[in-house]
Amino acid sequence: MTTIARKIGILGGSFNPAHDGHRDISLAALAYLGLDEVWWLVAPQNPLKSPVGMAPLDARLAEAQRVANHPRIRVSDLELRLGTQFTADTLKKVVRKYPHYRFVWLMGADNLAGMHRWKDWQQIFHLVPIAVFDRPTYTYRALAALAARRFACFRAREQAARTLVTSQPPAWTFVHHRLNPISATEIRSKRLWGESGSRVAKPATPR
Ligand SMILES: Nc1ncnc2c1ncn2[C@@H]1O[C@H](COP(=O)(O)OP(=O)(O)OP(=O)(O)O)[C@@H](O)[C@H]1O
Ligand SMILES: O=C(O)c1ccc[n+]([C@@H]2O[C@H](COP(=O)([O-])O)[C@@H](O)[C@H]2O)c1
């Protein structure tokens, strides 16, 4: 009897805080990519972002759990437990730790646009397949970026998205879906300034 490997999408992020944009692309990933689960890997600290204004990991995990609210979205502190900060290192360890699972890295178009600044970014393409979800204002920048151009010949048709997770990397696709303009930056600025526009004495931490 052959066992069918579980298909897992990994959405790495700062989740400072988590919001419906994360949930929307996770639900789209479950449906379009035919996944069993999506794991939200809440990053202790994105190496390219400032730690200033980054809420404590525990608070971000708790808020992510509240926002995810779905039986097939798991919120995880795996990077903390693995002791990794860079995605290439995380994915190497994850693939080794779960040899019977199949993984696909999920990210928004803004991340593809800047991926050539990540440590060992080309290695990431060789570790797992990648699904990029369109995001308002980033479509062109993402598809014109160095990562998209360098791996252009490994781009799979969107219609073949269901087979992406079991494809041999490098393999990636760009998913068009119902766009959501929300961002954590916008949420943080509203919390800091209040709806009236006057500055309020609220910390930039999740509720
Ligand atoms: N509205 C959205 N549409 C598509 N992808 C998104 C959206 N929001 C976040 N993502 C993706 O989710 C992942 C984690 O994002 P992150 O936690 O940094 O949220 P963010 O809203 O981009 O935060 P910030 O505004 O602080 O940079 C990234 O791959 C990002 O591209
Ligand atoms: O590995 C890197 O060099 C690297 C640089 C920037 C971002 N990342 C990862 O990209 C994911 C998205 O980050 P963020 O802050 O945009 O949500 C998250 O898992 C980060 O750890 C990784």
Q: What is residue 1's predicted lDDT score, i.e. its pLDDT? A: 57
**Interface TM-score (ipTM) > 0.85:** yes
pLDDT tens-digit readout, 150-166: 999 999 999 999 999 99
Q: Of all atoms in ligand 2, which is nearest to the CA of residue 184?
A: 17
| Binding site membership of 177 for ligand 1 (Cβ less than 6 Å) | no
Integer CA distances (angstroms), 101 to 5, 14, 147, 173, 206, in order: 5, 24, 26, 20, 32
CA dist., res. 43 & res. 12, Å (int):
7
Quote the ligand 2 centre to 177 CA distance (angstroms). Answer: 22
Report the candidate in 38, 17, 20 with the shortest Cα–Cα distance to residue 29: 38
pLDDT at 206: 43
82 CB near ligand 1 (under 6 Å): no
Asked if residue 207 is part of any domain, the answer here is no
- Give the position, in ligand 2's atom list, of the atom nearest the Cα of 90: 1
- The residue whose CA has the least distance to atom 21 of ligand 2 is 46
* Ligand 2 center from residue 196 Cα (angstroms): 33
Domain count, the chain: 1
Smallest CA-to-CA distance from 159 within 141, 149, 173, 147 is with 173
| Spacing, Cα 20 to ligand 1 middle (Å) | 10
Any atom of ligand 2 within 6 Å of the Cβ of 48? yes
The verdict on residue 102 lying in a domain is: yes
Residue 53, domain extent: 7-180
Q: Whose CA is nearest to atom 31 of ligand 1?
A: 108
The answer to the question of residue 196 being in a domain is no
pLDDT digits (tens, 9 = 90+) for 7-28: 999 999 999 999 999 999 999 9
Q: Is residue 66, in this structure, part of any structural domain at all?
A: yes
In a domain, 124, yes or no: yes
Please provide the average confidence, as pLDDT, over all residues in the chain: 93
Give the CATH number for residue 18.
3.40.50.620
Q: 108 in ligand 1 pocket by Cβ < 6 Å?
A: yes
pTM of the model: 0.94
- Asked if residue 33 has pLDDT above 70, the reply is yes
Whether residue 45 is contained in a domain is answered as: yes
Q: Measured in angstroms, how far is the CA atom of residue 151 from the centroid of ligand 1?
A: 22
Bridge partners, 75 (sequence order):
40
Residue 188 located in a structural domain: no
147 pLDDT more than 70: yes
| Closest alpha carbon to 60 in 39, 75, 46, 38 | 75
The pLDDT of residue 191: 85
Q: What is the pLDDT of residues 77-128, one digit of tens each?
A: 999 999 999 999 999 999 999 999 999 999 999 999 999 999 999 999 999 9
Look at residue 14 and tell me if it is in a domain: yes
Beta carbons within 8 Å of 64's beta carbon, 6+ residues apart: 15, 17, 18, 22, 40, 42, 75
DSSP 8-state class, residue 128: S
Residue nearest ligand 2's atom 12 by CA: 13
Burial class (CB in 10 A: 0-12, 13-18, 19+), 11: buried
- The preferred substitution site among 22, 87, 138 for testing ligand 2, maximizing ligand atoms within 8 Å of CB, is 87
Ligand 2 center to residue 1 CA distance, Å? 39
Residues 10 and 121: their CA atoms lie apart, in Å, by 16
